[in-house]
């Protein structure tokens, strides 16, 4: 299993940190988690063609996490000389299928019948079993509906991705003894915003979950301030490995 951070920032345009996107490779299967603006181009940069995608997962429907969803489906439908045969599966929180319906009203009815097999799944507290990996979901505390994901291989290696969330027992449960925990860490402690985590809160979640490696992402500018606070505070609470996410960072699990 290999994790690539495609975007370590938020919805604010930046040349340093792009909008959220995370690629997990399990053997030769690319799994995409969130696709903020520019994710498809960054996939190409790391050697993954959008045509390879069969499973795309969304934590919630805010635009900084979903902006490249419609471009993905359009590219799969209109690339010259390419006719998609494989089914593509889209996963999201409760109400995600309604979101797709609304997008079809805006972009066109082709979105619901894009000339290749398309399935849309609404998830809450669920567990999906695939050939050699599983995906578990629990609700997060952010928007009207948001979920976090736990991806685990048959060998027991695990990555947990919170998406956007505030402190809640579900993220601690989902991340219990995970090899890698990707947590959002949007603002410094003194600028706490409801629905998002600060460095101290993220550290406490990681410590309670007893994960091995904490990766902090979804940082808001100014990046030097939040990164300095992560470096000064998180290790005092969480004693495992700590990383500040950077675009194109790769981690083998």
Cα angle value 145/151/155 (rounded, 5°): 160
Domains of the chain in start order, with CATH, are 2-252 (3.60.15.10)
33-88 per-position pLDDT tens digit: 999 999 999 999 999 999 999 999 999 999 999 999 999 999 999 999 999 999 99
At 38 the three-state DSSP class reads coil
Tell me if 190 sits within 8 A of 200, measured CB to CB.
Answer: no
pLDDT at 20: 98
Does the pLDDT at position 183 exceed 90? yes
pLDDT at 144 > cutoff 90: no
- Do 53 and 23 meet the contact criterion of CB atoms below 8 Å apart? no
144-171 mean pLDDT: 97
Q: What is the DSSP letter of 69?
A: H
3-state secondary structure of 96: helix
pLDDT at 8 over 90: yes
pLDDT 10s digits, 94-127: 999 999 999 999 999 999 999 999 999 999 999 9
- Residue 143's pLDDT is 85
Name the packing angle between helices 199-209 and 223-237 (round to 10°): 30
Neighbours of 87 (CB within 10 A): 11
Q: What is the value of pTM for the model shown?
A: 0.97
């Amino acid at each position: 299993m290999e994790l690539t951070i495609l975007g370590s920032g938020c919805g604010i345009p930046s040349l340093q940190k792009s909008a959220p996107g995370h690629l997990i490779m399990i053997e030769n299967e690319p799994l995409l988690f969130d696709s903020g603006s520019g994710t498809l181009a960054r996939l190409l940069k790391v050697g993954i063609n959008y045509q390879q995608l069969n499973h795309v997962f969304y934590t919630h429907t805010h635009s900084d996490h979903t902006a490249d969803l419609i471009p993905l489906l359009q590219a799969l439908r209109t690339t010259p000389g390419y006719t998609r045969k494989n089914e593509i599966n889209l996963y999201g929180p409760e109400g995600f299928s309604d979101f797709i319906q609304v997008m079809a009203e805006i972009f066109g009815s082709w979105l619901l019948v894009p000339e290749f097999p398309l399935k849309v799944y609404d998830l809450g507290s669920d567990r999906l079993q695939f050939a050699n990996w599983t995906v578990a979901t629990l609700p997060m505390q952010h928007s009207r509906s948001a979920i976090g994901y736990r991806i685990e291989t048959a060998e027991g290696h695990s990555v947990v991705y919170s998406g956007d969330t505030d402190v809640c027992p579900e993220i601690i449960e989902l991340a219990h003894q995970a090899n890698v925990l990707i947590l959002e860490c949007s603002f410094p402690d003194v600028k706490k915003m409801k629905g998002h985590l600060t460095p101290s809160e993220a550290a406490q979640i990681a410590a309670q979950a007893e994960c091995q490696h904490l990766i902090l992402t979804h940082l808001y500018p100014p990046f030097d301030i939040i990164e300095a606070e992560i470096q000064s505070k998180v290790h005092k609470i969480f004693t495992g490995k700590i990383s500040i996410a950077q675009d194109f960072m790769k981690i083998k699990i």
